[in-house]
Amino acid sequence: MTQLALVIDLNVCVGCHACVTSCKEWNTSGWAGPLTDYNPYESSPRGTFFNRVQTFEVGTFPNAETIHFPKSCLHCEEPPCVPVCPTGASYKRPDNGVVLVDYEKCIGCKYCSWACPYGARELDEQQKVMKKCTLCIDRISDETLPERDRKPACVLACPTNARLFGDIHDPDSEVSVAIRERGGYQLMPEWGTKPANHYLPRRRTQFHIRPDELTRVDNPWRKEDITPYTGEETIDDMAWVGS
Amino acid sequence: MHPALSVILLTTAIGAGQGLFLAMITGQLYAIAHFLPVQEGQFYAFGSLLALAFLLAGLGASFFHLGHPERAWRAIAMWRTSWLSREVIVLPLVMALAFVYGVAHAFSWTRPLFQIGDALQVDLTLLLGISGTVATLALFVCTAMIYAAVRFLQEWHTPLTVSNFLFLGTASGFMLAAAYSAYLGNPLVTFYGTWAVILTAIGSISRFMHLRRNDRLKPKSTLQTAIGIRHTQIVQKAQGATGGSFNTREFFHGRDQRLVQVSRYVYLTLILPIPVLLIGLSYVITSPRLPIVAFCLQFLGLMIERWAFFAEARHPQNLYYQSVS
């Protein structure tokens, strides 16, 4: 059985929010949209997002690290949001494991959002139905697109390639290899929801500094304080030529 | 969690309605067993119609909770897995039984259908009463299990949630039955009042144990398990939005933590000591009004109790939404 998922590499996520904006752009105008925004240019803007990047500071200054943490629906293998839905609007696709909401059936009772420990579901204020990441289901299952474009918008937009997409049940897929070889883990494993999305941990990086690099060495080509400048044409002057 | 007025009204109103319906049936059973004088059919009829009014009020309030109330009929689909679906099925069933039970008494459809043993003559009202009792108890379980079944909300995930809903709801219904009898000048007010006091005491003990349990609760999820980073010092700096969101509105009660603490003393007082004193006093001075006041104050207490029930539940998703910036 296929279980599509995202694998997010925290080691390279720089918190640029490109995944957030591309997700919003693609989905607000597509099958799952609109993802309404209220007061976008005022003091308390609010709106519906499928994907948010949160920022945590780990450790205490000066030994602190900033972790940018993108989070969307994790497409759990045991999704707690599905059995609680009274109308059957919340369902897990049997063919690829994507958890979806049927907006025509949703009554907006919010029970699924209570049952999700990750806060991945958001009630759309305008449509009054529950919305969540669809893994860009309209895009990944569109056979008319070229193979390389059949990926979620966030994955295609990520400039640092921090997001991988694939089938975690296929042991040879890019995501399975990444999980296996780089210690991919799940969020809140204590609840037994078995999230399909995994995270790759940050890796310890060694930064070697040689002692002689700690003291400033003057530019051997240009002694700053004693340059004998006598009015002849220099490279600095060349830059102004023609202006 | 954010306490929604619609859900507070739903659970307290149907609790009182169910309790009153049970009180009517209990009164009839006691009368059959000759522990109490037999009442006229009108007494049970108006009582169960009053119960129906409370159930209808609760149902009406529940519609305000839905984004699409016009699709509410769809909610019966997933009865195999969803307690909410089960509640949506059982609530109209209880309402129908309360209605038919009242009608059967109003029109005195009490001709015995068959006889068990030497003395017990089974008529339509008795059959409806027994089915009504089963359905009402099932509804208490369904309503409470909607909350108790969410295992991430550790404050709710306990059998004490079910016993609170059951006993506090029944207590409020018997208190309502006492108020109803007092209003009519019916001697059953002592019977219902005494049961109301007993059930209130059991409900209060259950709620007290629930509070004690929750005070000692250790959250299963921490920031460490939430983002999978093993470090003791983690502080959230931003949540990806400069304003609020569904997540910040739905899962935070938005009030001072002290208010939740104070509300505990307020509702515990309003639920137990005050109504008990008023009921006791009404016996002494045979007042027709004090039981009504007792019911109203206890109902107010139960609404505050339900508010606190929501406010004290800490959803693990809040770990991801600790500061708006």
Residue A99: helix, strand or coil by DSSP? strand
**CATH architecture, domain A4-76+133-200:** 2-Layer Sandwich (3.30)
Residue B222 included in any domain = no
Closest CA relative to residue A122, chosen from A70, A52, A39, A48: A48
**CB distance A45–B150 less than 8 Å?**
no
Q: Which domain holds residue B296?
A: 5-217+246-318
Per-residue pLDDT reduced to its tens digit, B171-222 = 999 999 999 999 999 989 999 999 999 999 999 999 999 999 999 999 999 9
Domain boundaries, chain A: 4-76+133-200, 210-243
What percentage of residues in chain B have a pLDDT greater than 70? 100
Per-residue pLDDT reduced to its tens digit, A78-113 = 999 999 999 999 999 999 999 999 999 999 999 999
Task: Please provide residue A7's backbone torsions phi and psi, each rounded to the nearest 5 degrees.
Answer: -120, 125
Which residue type sits at B59? L
ipTM: 0.92
Nearest-5° Cα angle at B311, A127 to B257: 125
Whole-structure pTM value: 0.89
Axis-axis angle for helices B41-63, B5-32 (nearest 10): 160
The residues, any chain, with a CB within 8 Å of residue A96's CB and separated by 6 or more, are A2, A3, A4, A141, A167
Mean pLDDT computed over A2-10: 96
What percentage of residues in chain B have a pLDDT greater than 90? 86
pLDDT at A231 over 80: no
User: Considering chain B, what is the average pLDDT of its residues?
Assistant: 94
Q: Which pLDDT band, with edges at 50, 70 and 90, does A234 fall under?
A: low
- State how many domains chain B has: 1
Residue B226 included in any domain = no
Facing residue for B238 by CB, picked from A55, A113, A199:
A55
A65 forms beta bridges with A58
Per-residue pLDDT reduced to its tens digit, B138-166 = 999 999 999 999 999 999 999 999 999 99
Q: Which pLDDT band, with edges at 50, 70 and 90, does A243 fall under?
A: very low
8 Å CB contact between A154 and A9: no
The token pair that represents A204 in the structure block: 């310890």
What percentage of residues in chain A have a pLDDT greater than 70? 90
Mean pLDDT computed over B6-30: 97
pLDDT at B137 over 80: yes
Predicted local confidence at residue A43, as pLDDT: 84
Please report the residues numbered 297 through 316 in chain B whose beta carbons come closer than 8 angstroms to any beta carbon of chain A. 315-316
For residues A111 and A40, the model is more confident at A111
Please report the residues numbered 263 through 282 in chain B whose beta carbons come closer than 8 angstroms to any beta carbon of chain A. none
For residues B242 and A126, the model is more confident at A126
**CB distance A107–B66 less than 8 Å?**
yes
Give the position of tokens 């919003």: A24
The residues, any chain, with a CB within 8 Å of residue B43's CB and separated by 6 or more, are B27, B105, B184, B186, B188
Domain containing residue B294: CATH number: 1.20.1630.10
Predicted local confidence at residue B287, as pLDDT: 84
Mean pLDDT computed over B115-128: 88
Predicted local confidence at residue A215, as pLDDT: 76
pLDDT at A236 over 70: no
Predicted local confidence at residue A218, as pLDDT: 65
Facing residue for B226 by CB, picked from A58, A60, A187:
A187
